[in-house]
Structure 1
Amino acid sequence: MADPIKTPRLISCDEAGYTGPKLLDDNQPYFAYAAVDLTPDEASAIVASARAKFRVQAPELKSSLLRKRDNWPEIALDILKPVKGRAMVIAADKRLNLAGKTFEYIFEPVLEKMNGLFYHYDLHRFVMNGLYRILFVTGEPAPKLAEELQAFMKSFDPADAPTVFAAADKSAETHEILACVLRFARGYAAAIAEQSKHLQKQVNPTAKWTLDLTTTCLFSLLLHGWGHHYDSLDVLCDDSKPLQAMAHAFDGFVGRSDSAELIGAGSRPATIKANLANPLRFGSSAANPSLQIADIVAGATTDLLQHQADASYRDLAMWILPHMHPHTMLPDDDFIDLNRPKPRMNLAALQELARRADHGEDPLAKMDEFYESQLAIERKAKSFPF
């Protein structure tokens, strides 16, 4: 009998809400990626039971088909109850992610030599949540500026975003955060364009997937999730073009039993760990019942987010929420609440960066001292508990 400690643990992964690098799809505003810890026999038993109970005639369980039924939340919950504690799911608001990519591809090229300072103070989250609230008003179509941002982050060609790289609009409707972002982009356009060259489609064939969330979510689910639970993982993914294009990024974790500290987006280092027994495997959900369960988890998550006020989803929410990974990316107004000290500091820093951009000044010179001065102001006002 095989030693259970050394036998790789099967982790099966699938997504819902996939629109590739297009993040402005009004019909699918959320993306979810799920990873379940089930053996093939366990998954087969759950699938067989659900197919019999709910008289599923289709060859496999698919959330895209089951959600057409009036009692879909009940069906999803019934399927998922046996999977309690055996699933993780990451959800992302696609428009918030686009706002976050704005920081990554407009600010990061300019600030990269000192980026740890800005991540420490959550400037990226301040910009991300600020732009989200400004650009995306519920029920309204995506504005031209958002379309330009998406176009630039597909091609990395400033010509695709003329408004972004032109002077900031000075109308009364222009929010201070947006104005500063536009001024920053205009002032450092040359540096941004230069640093973005290696990402352009004609140079990097995987650039078309830059805005895709699949790879990022899988990284979190494995290296900040299941990799900490089991000594060895056998990762099976539903067929996915972006993952197949980026699967090599996980090859370095094959046979790697150590852990590492990741320092970057946050004030505390995070431990990453995942010992893959083999490179990522890909398969069809029809042939792998565990992928069908992952599909149900992911599909139920995106549907819950789109029906948060619907009472029929309340019980399903009680199952899903404890299984949501901490890296879930949903809007958080705490990062832009100017009644809080850190958002006030970040607004001051953003205004200073915009001022430097206007005058062609060094964006990094003494910015650590600038933040320290803002911190001193907050401490003097006793708004910080330290």
Structure 2
Amino acid sequence: MTDVLVFVGSLAVGGTERHLSQVLPALAKRGWALKVVVFSGGGAFAEPIEAAGIPIEVLPRGFSVPVPKLRGVLALMQQTRALAVGLRRRPPRILHCFLPTCCIVGGLAGRMAGFSPVVMSRRSQAVRPSSFPGDKWMEGWALRHANLVFGHSSRVIDELKAEGIANTKLRLNHNGIDLEAFDDAAGEREGTRRAEQWHPDEIVFATVANLIPYKGHVDLLQAFARLAGNLPWRLALVGQGRPAFTQQLRELSQRLGLAERVDFLGGRADVPRLLKAADAGILASHQEGFPNAILEYMAASLPVIATATGGNFDAVCEDQTGLLIPPAAPELLAQAATLLLNDPLLRKRLGQAGRRRVESTFSLDACVDRYEDAYRGLLGNGHHHG
């Protein structure tokens, strides 16, 4: 019997998907019987989950209609029904839904199947853009009817309270990070810099964020256009996005005269290796739930520049592990970057303090412990095996 059925949209590149690719194998190692259900199969993060012996099932989509908007709604209805049928036929002990659309579909399917307990994870701030009309109202309904709701930052928990989710249902669980991959990459700095064609003297600022408008890449390029031209620096953008927006960013970097200093690296599976070869980490998002990227910067002993929003407040200690600046403020972003560019001792101090903080507060083990405690509490007996 499956202990926990995990429901997520896909396992392509993204913060939640990366989180699950680390958490689920760790839970499986501790003896939990897991299964993952997705809307669409494949994706970079399916591999470590399957390697841990966790089956992944793709929800079927039946007939297709030519009207795109209608097609999406009908597909969700079909997939809701398919999930409900699965919950009735082979009920797991717990259903855990990640991200808004899955919370809506999982909540409806749970209702249709008369299934409980349902756990949900909100992993973004409420100001995120809508996926389809009415989705926020429907997500609110689903969260209020869940047995337990996880938020991964204090800001997200505060928003859930404001939306009327009962305090007794809420659990804060910060993302955790596996530090091993960063330690393994420690000796590869010079080789990586050669491979990426980064000059030994260049101070490399890395941003790990998919190319989505709210991640603030436009602000980033405008900020770096203000940096003194005579200091050797490079900006490495790790992440993928829609071709049209990616092209806009490339054109902007050309217009600002930055084309020679900005690398568009696309989605990468070797983030720890890249970060160990960089000198500072930046996240310029306009809003964030709780960013894995900042934990990755700290795991790589990098000083952090981040926007003062959402879960960034939980991750970055101002002037101890990094610098916080307001969102959408290229001028201030440029000042912070200039400060780190010119001060190697400051970079080292912030980076080392960040590494200590991630070790003490944001380890993967601590994160997995909190999931286990919550699941055990729901199952009502200190054990998850029959």
What is the TM-score of this pair, normalised by structure 2? Answer: 0.26
Q: Which structure carries more relative contact order (alpha carbon 8 Å, separation 6+)?
A: 1
TM-score (norm 1): 0.26
Q: Which has the larger radius of gyration?
A: 1
Please state which structure has a larger fraction of its residues in strand.
2
